[in-house]
Amino acid sequence: MIGILHGYLLEGSGSNLWTRAIIQALVKQGETVHLFCQENHPDIYDFISKACFYKTGGTVEILLSRTSSFPGKCVMHKPELGDTLPVYVRDKYEEFETVVPMVELPDATINDYLRRNETVVERVVREQGITVLHANHAVLMSVVAKRVSETCNIPFAVMPHGSAIEYAVKKDRRFFNYASDAFEKAGKIFVIGPEIRQRVTKLFNDLPDLEQKMETLNLGADTGLFTPVTKEQRPQLIENLKQSVNGITGGKSRRQSEELIRATGDKEDFDNWLSNIHACSSYTAKLPDEDIVEKLDMVNWKKDPVMLFVGRLIASKGIQLILAALPYIVQKFPSARLVIVGHGPQREGMELLLHALRKGDLQLLNRIVNRGKGIEDGNPAAFSGLKRFYIELDSKGKLDDYLGSSQKLLQENSVIFMGYLKHAELRWLFPCSDISIFPSVVAEAGPLVFLEALASGSFPMGTYFAGMKASIDTVAGALAEDHAELMKLSKEPQQAIADIAEKVPKVLSIGDRYKQTLRSIAVEKFDWKNIAVRFSRLLNEMK
């Protein structure tokens, strides 16, 4: 019987998505899984049949109990943690007053967090007869798994993800030591591709038998959730999407976006300008925009070429590169629409960048390029590639023409921000896009959205390095060589803008030629069902 230690929520992308996807696939196969996490709404996940909350004093509150509709079942266990949740990147979490990057926390707080989790995991292992543990991330659930493994004499595995490595293990020796000790004691270390394998090998090169412990476990997609459709069928999917978001309130409103534009004004005082921007972001970010239905109606889904970006709205995901390339794209395809799905600190920055382009406002453009890092908690590299792009345009005497074209060609519906959508909504949107663009400027272990684009028949484009490169290479052999090259974007941000501007119109000219081919690759190589079978087998082989 498998116990999975996740520690965080199930909503969202990355390891959250991996966890809910792998568990759903396991229970579909008839397995019983015990999940340890902090999910606040277990009722919305149909694979969870029971959820328990373990209070500090030892009492247990049943949060949910229902008959499973699957052959197997998942029982969720939620330890009480107090007010503090250690995370990798600063964010907002429901029910926690203090959400702090773990590198900023003192040892006493970290030890308390570990103890609370360890107590509950050990209790459930003994009561339920769990025979093997799997821990997500290099820290901190790996530490809990190692300790319970030693006290209960059962094996455990670890799956490191990029966020823990980059934002905890590399930044703080305490967490490096925690991870090193856990990796040394683990029976297996699952890696989702060559990028994570290389990071782990480089960081922990003195650990014995490290290479022998590592097993590649590809990321997957719920191919049953996404279905390619013709352009004639797209309006029906959009109607389904409208029904899915009906009644959801609390996301960003049109009024707040309008106030954001007004708040920028002509102010040269950066601190005042920045505070005005932050004042316009007081909404629940992990919800669809209030006016999403009206925004969906701004697209002619049967005729308009649709580009889609899905991801966290931070500079490292490269959304600013698509916006910078957009004036070149609409010169060739005036009715092209860029649909942006996601939340993050750069939402307001990207709205302002778009506004500057639509108005041909060089003053605002310069302010964003030079000062935009302040919007994203001081990220120093937030707009460095974008800055170089505009400097080069200016040096060649082309900046005025670029801004003139932007002002003339970019319409109100050229770019549409949707807010945050879950998979219940994305299942309808992905197949309605012609192209999905993921121009990350940092190494990604393996972006799941790329695979979901494949399953939907949406032509994927991504930065050709790290985990994205591996995904692109898997697809490339099934496409004509010149068309396979269109998936690849440079890892240099300035060149990536040029790649998007040049390649997107070429992809749009191909039409639906590869829709079913992309879908077939997703089903054959990346369906979660096959990945879950291998995951379970490898776990249960450990002694």
Dist. CA 163–CA 136, nearest whole Å = 11
Going by their DSSP bridges, the two strands 188-191 and 214-216 should be labelled as parallel
Residues written for the chain: 543
**What pLDDT band is residue 37 in, cutting at 50, 70 and 90?**
very high
Note whether 90 and 109 are same-domain residues. yes
Which amino acid belongs to residue 76? M
**Do residues 118 and 144 make contact, with C-beta atoms less than 8 angstroms apart?**
yes
Note whether 519 and 536 are same-domain residues. no
Note whether 518 and 536 are same-domain residues. no
Note whether 150 and 236 are same-domain residues. no
Dist. CA 91–CA 101, nearest whole Å = 9
Inside any domain, residue 369? yes
435-438, strands of its sheet edge to edge: 415-419, 337-341, 306-310, 435-438, 459-463, 488-489
Note whether 202 and 349 are same-domain residues. no
48-54, strands of its sheet edge to edge: 60-65, 48-54, 73-79, 32-36, 2-5, 132-136, 156-159, 188-191, 214-216
| Residue 321: burial class (beta carbons within 10 Å; 0-12, 13-18, 19+) | buried
Note whether 517 and 535 are same-domain residues. no
Inside any domain, residue 225? no
Dist. CA 419–CA 522, nearest whole Å = 26
Inside any domain, residue 226? no
What does the DSSP 8-state code read for residue 130?
-
Dist. CA 308–CA 299, nearest whole Å = 13
Hunting for tokens 């910078």 — which residue is that?
Answer: 324
Decide if pLDDT at 313 tops 70: yes
Decide if pLDDT at 102 tops 60: yes
The residue segments making up the domain with residue 33 are 2-220+527-541
Note whether 248 and 381 are same-domain residues. yes
Going by their DSSP bridges, the two strands 48-54 and 73-79 should be labelled as parallel
Going by their DSSP bridges, the two strands 60-65 and 48-54 should be labelled as antiparallel
Inside any domain, residue 158? yes
Dist. CA 102–CA 87, nearest whole Å = 5
Note whether 171 and 121 are same-domain residues. yes
Decide if pLDDT at 266 tops 60: no
Q: Give residue 280's pLDDT.
A: 79
Inside any domain, residue 381? yes
Note whether 128 and 6 are same-domain residues. yes
Note whether 120 and 136 are same-domain residues. yes
Inside any domain, residue 419? yes
Q: Give residue 282's pLDDT.
A: 83
The CATH number that applies at residue 429 is: 3.40.50.2000
Q: Give residue 193's pLDDT.
A: 82
**Do residues 389 and 493 make contact, with C-beta atoms less than 8 angstroms apart?**
yes
Q: Give residue 270's pLDDT.
A: 61
Which amino acid belongs to residue 282? S
Closest CA to 138 of 86, 177, 80, 194: 177
Decide if pLDDT at 367 tops 90: no
pTM for this prediction = 0.81
Note whether 139 and 214 are same-domain residues. yes
Inside any domain, residue 500? yes
Q: Using one digit for the tens of pLDDT, what is the confidence trace for 409-419?
A: 999 999 999 99
Q: Give residue 371's pLDDT.
A: 77
Q: Using one digit for the tens of pLDDT, what is the confidence trace for 436-456?
A: 999 998 877 767 899 999 999
The number of distinct structural domains making up the chain is: 2
Dist. CA 440–CA 314, nearest whole Å = 10
Dist. CA 199–CA 207, nearest whole Å = 14
Going by their DSSP bridges, the two strands 84-87 and 73-79 should be labelled as unpaired
Inside any domain, residue 77? yes
Helix (H/G/I), strand (E/B), else coil: 100:
strand
Q: Give residue 163's pLDDT.
A: 86
Note whether 518 and 458 are same-domain residues. yes
Q: What are phi and psi of 45, to 5 degrees?
A: -110, 110
Q: Give residue 381's pLDDT.
A: 64
Helix, strand, coil fractions of the chain, as percent rounded to 5:
50, 15, 35
Decide if pLDDT at 93 tops 80: no
Mean pLDDT of the region 229-245:
97
